Amino acid sequence: MNTVLVSLLVNSGIPLVLGATLYAAPSPALNAHAVPFGVRVPPDKADAPEVSEQRRRYRALLLPATLVVTVAALVIGAVLDTVAVGGVAALVLCVIAAALWLSAHRALARAKERGDWYKHVRQGVVTDTSLRTDPVRLPWVWTIPSLMVILVTAVAGAIVHPRLPETMALPERTSSGTVYREITTTFWTVFSPVFAQILLTAVVIGTLAAVLRARADLDVSRPRSSAARHRRYLGLTARCLLGIAALLNLMLLGLSGMMWSDNRTGAVLSLVIGGPLLASVAATVPLIRNGPGGFDGSDEGTGLVPRDDDRHWYGVGTVYVNADDPAVLVPRRVGIGWTVNLGNLRFLIISAAVLAIAAGATVVCAV
């Protein structure tokens, strides 16, 4: 009965949560207000009838699709007695949402071209040089929780290592549930969670260091207030991501304890994994509520609008390619955060080097 209940919760919960997220995707809280469905428009056209119509159509079609996919996942999951259906349902929903987004993107691009929306506006760009000369600093104090968790994990591993048996049980998720795989007890297997924590923390810090110096997408009509808001958003982003890193490190500490003690209790495993993950999701709420766009009206308008740069964006506004742009990271058009400039030579060289090193390491390990 417990297995059936878990299957029902997973197979219905995954598509419902994902459907709610995709339903909110066109909201200005998750996208730049003047870039609906990945199409750059003048600010006064951000709520034009054509834009509102595409938002209504996207949501009107996605809502019943979510309900149908959820019901189908429940029925099929109950018949097959597996939680794998939830993942398949999520994939189907993503395909449906992508098709609806593509349709809206094309419709707005055609409306923008037919109406010549940029004909009578003054386009411009703005930059804040102080973001380079006096950038937002990485809040190192927020790395302390992650470092403390890593230290606790390392000390605990050093204490229990001599008393561990020859093999340990490592939990793994499969389509039929959680299974445990026996692994040989060595220094590397015992302290693998510590290495994972160190790598995770280093990646987050490195990513933040790049983000804090990434190009800002400032509002050319209100440059002063937009720059101030961008600085606040960068600080909030840094604190949230470092907090999430600490929560994920805490999850790895819990998994380490279960592995070292051979604790295979399902409830404990769910708490160790689910608790930090839910807290991490909650930590993203401030980022969504306080996006990088907008202004407080403290400075006078310039009368300019952001320049039309649609020609550099592909994949309905998700892929940026501009060889003339020196920026490696640029603000995303779809969703919040940043994306890479695939036309930047430095990024391509670094990516090729990383891939070459990874391929070489794989070959060496195989030999």
Q: How do residues 205-250 score in pLDDT, each as one tens digit?
A: 999 998 898 888 888 888 888 888 889 889 999 999 999 999 999 9
Q: Are residues 151 and 276 in the same domain?
A: yes
Residue 59 belongs to a domain = yes
Task: Report pTM.
Answer: 0.78
Q: Are residues 155 and 209 in the same domain?
A: yes
Residue 276 belongs to a domain = yes
Residue 82 — pLDDT band, cuts 50, 70, 90?
Answer: confident
**Range in 47-51, 108-112, 159-163, 200-204 the model is least confident about:** 159-163
Residue 184 — pLDDT band, cuts 50, 70, 90?
Answer: confident
Q: Are residues 185 and 298 in the same domain?
A: yes
Q: Are residues 267 and 345 in the same domain?
A: no
Residue 128 belongs to a domain = no
Residue 2 belongs to a domain = yes
Residue range(s) defining the domain that contains residue 70? 1-116
Among candidate residues 287, 306, 325, the one where a domain is terminated: 306
Sign of the CA dihedral with 107 first, then 109, 111, and 113 last: negative
Q: Are residues 155 and 295 in the same domain?
A: yes
Q: Are residues 156 and 11 in the same domain?
A: no
**In this model, does residue 359 exceed pLDDT 90?**
no
Mean of the per-residue pLDDT values for the chain? 85
Q: Are residues 291 and 316 in the same domain?
A: no
Produce one character per residue of 82-121: b if its CB has 16 or more CB atoms within 10 Å, e if not.
bbbbbbbbbebbeebbeebbebbbebbbebbeeeebbeeb
**In this model, does residue 362 exceed pLDDT 80?**
no
- pLDDT for the residue numbered 129: 85
Q: Are residues 283 and 326 in the same domain?
A: no
Produce one character per residue of 311-340: b if its CB has 16 or more CB atoms within 10 Å, e if not.
ebbeebbbbbebeeeebbbbbbbbebebbb
**In this model, does residue 1 exceed pLDDT 70?**
no
Residue 102 belongs to a domain = yes
**In this model, does residue 119 exceed pLDDT 70?**
yes
Among residues 227, 217, 223, 225, which one has the least CA distance to residue 303? 223
Mean pLDDT across 257-263: 84
Domain count of the fold of the chain: 3
Q: Are residues 327 and 260 in the same domain?
A: no
